Amino acid sequence: MAGSDPIFGPIKGAERREVAGVQVDAVRTGAARVKRIVYAPGFRWSKDMKPITGTEYCMHAHVGFLVRGEIHVEYPDGCVHEFAAPQVVAIEPGHDGWVVGDQAAVLIEIDFEGDTIEKLGMPDGHRH
């Protein structure tokens, strides 16, 4: 539970938004955004976010550090990645994902908005 865990506390200078139960606090620096993303227990991308994005899968690349909780990521070919804090996260575009267990997942992530995949040097999709 969040309780008095300081990882959930206010972030100086951050702009907060909430989408489909996902809370994002973001601070801009240069071309990047540094974000703390809190995924509530029970969150699943294909259930909660897909109706908003209108895409079949989450098309974002995620590079960051999972500081609380556990997430499960699946690609359309059936490959599975599971992450449990503390763990570095690198997720390719084109995936579903959800929170495992009853604890919120907290991901510290850096993105470059529309240029994220290119600037992070990530593949543009999951392949072998």
Q: Give the H/E segment covering residue 32.
A: strand 32-39
Query: What is the smallest separation between the CB atom of 22 and Zn ion, expressed in angstroms?
Result: 25
Nearer to Zn ion, 31 or 79 (CB): 79
| Euclidean distance between CA atoms 26 and 74, whole angstroms | 26
Nearer to Zn ion, 77 or 102 (CB): 77
Task: Report the residue number whose CB is nearest to Zn ion.
Answer: 79
3-state SS assignment for residue 78: coil
How far from each other are the two terminal CA atoms of the chain, in whole angstroms? 37
Nearer to Zn ion, 30 or 78 (CB): 78
Query: What is the smallest separation between the CB atom of 57 and Zn ion, expressed in angstroms?
Result: 13
Nearer to Zn ion, 92 or 111 (CB): 92
Residues at the interface with Zn ion (CB under 5 A): 77, 79
3-state secondary structure 30-57: CCEEEEEEEECCCCEHHHHHHHHHCCCC
**Token pair recorded at residue 35:** 């974000």
Query: What is the smallest separation between the CB atom of 61 and Zn ion, expressed in angstroms?
Result: 15
Query: What is the smallest separation between the CB atom of 71 and Zn ion, expressed in angstroms?
Result: 17
- Burial of residue 3 (CB within 10 Å: 0-12, 13-18, 19+) is exposed
